[in-house]
Amino acid sequence: MSERRGSLYLLTGLILGLGIGLIYSLRIYPVEYTDISPALLSPRDKDQYRALIAVAYLANRDLLRARARLALLKDEDTYSALAAQAQRWLAEGKPADEARALGLLAADLLRSQATLLAPTVTMTTTPTPLAGAPPSPSSPNPIPPSPSPTSSVASTPFASPQPNSTFQTSFILRKRESVCDPALGKGLIIVYVWDAQGNELPGVELMVSWEGGEDRFFTGLKPELGLGYADFSVREGVVYSVRVASGGEPALNLSAPTCTAANGETFPGVWILEFMQE
């Protein structure tokens, strides 16, 4: 009987000890982590970390430093992580400046990768002395005149890009078309933005407004659909206007087109807009 009581006391003490230890470690004196690697942060804290990097980049335009800081997160695809967060930030109503900074940083990272894949070529020429000119007194062995200049090819290292003046120019509305195609989506405004040479422009801020509201979205956040691509979901019965934030011709009176499927059911269509740099 005494042995059974002894075992019961031992088990009760063990349970009480574990409970008190958990309460002490979790409530009274929880563990505090300092100097933790950004890669070990929670997803929520990683989002905040990216937002802080993007805001800092918007202020100093130091892409090399921003890339080094983002590398500490050890994301599989840094650009995709930034682009996805920019979309979430807009959808969740986070600060617009942070969403814009995330979108621009993602676009500049993508643009810099494309620049690295295409190194710049510079030509250097060797000066040729004039025929018949006397040799220089400081040159004991003058070089004879060469019949033609020689050239060499050198690859210049990549430099951190400066703020792109492209986004400070105005844009014209080159195309405006309503489409009834479920494959494109339903109830969308699809926008493509091009520069004056016909190249797609990522990171362009677009403003969409309607009665009683306004929002913004960016090109380049869905690179699988194009660097100059952006879309915005619309509600039926609401009239929208879209313009490039830096200025230019707006697209007015956009409401979701009413489309009819083969089975007779109706569904909202899509507006396709194309803006081109003047």
Domain ranges of the chain: 38-116, 165-277
Burial 128-139 (b: 16+ CB within 10 A, else e): eeeeeeeeeeee
The dihedral through the CA atoms of 193, 197, 203, 209 has a sign that is negative
Q: Is the pLDDT assigned to residue 23 strictly greater than 70? A: yes
Candidates 213, 217, 214, 197; CA nearest to 273 is 217
Residue with tokens 């033609």: 148
* pLDDT of 9: 67
Vertex 202 angle, CA 201 and 205, to 5°: 100
CB 152 within 8 A of CB 124: yes
What confidence tier does 138 reach under pLDDT thresholds 50, 70, 90? Answer: very low
Residue with tokens 């050890």: 74
Q: Phi-psi category of 196—alpha, beta or left, where left has phi over 0 and alpha has psi -120 to 50?
A: alpha
Between 26-30, 90-94, 181-185, 239-243, the lowest mean confidence (pLDDT) is in 26-30
Residues 18-22: contacts with CB under 8 Å, at least 24 apart: none
- Alpha-carbon dihedral 250, 251, 252, 254, rounded to 10 degrees: -150
Bridge-based pairing of strands 171-179 and 213-218 is unpaired
* pLDDT of 5: 61
Q: Is the pLDDT assigned to residue 62 strictly greater than 60? A: yes
pLDDT tens, residue by residue, 174-231: 999 999 988 888 899 999 999 999 888 888 889 999 999 998 888 888 878 888 999 9
* pLDDT of 139: 42
* pLDDT of 216: 85
* pLDDT of 51: 92
Between 166-170, 212-216, 229-233, 274-278, the lowest mean confidence (pLDDT) is in 166-170
Bridge-based pairing of strands 213-218 and 205-210 is antiparallel
Q: What is the CATH class of 165-277? A: mainly beta
Enter the pTM of the model.
0.54
What confidence tier does 128 reach under pLDDT thresholds 50, 70, 90? Answer: very low
Crossing angle (nearest 10°) for helices 78-91 and 63-71: 90
User: CB neighbours (10 Å) of residue 204?
Assistant: 29
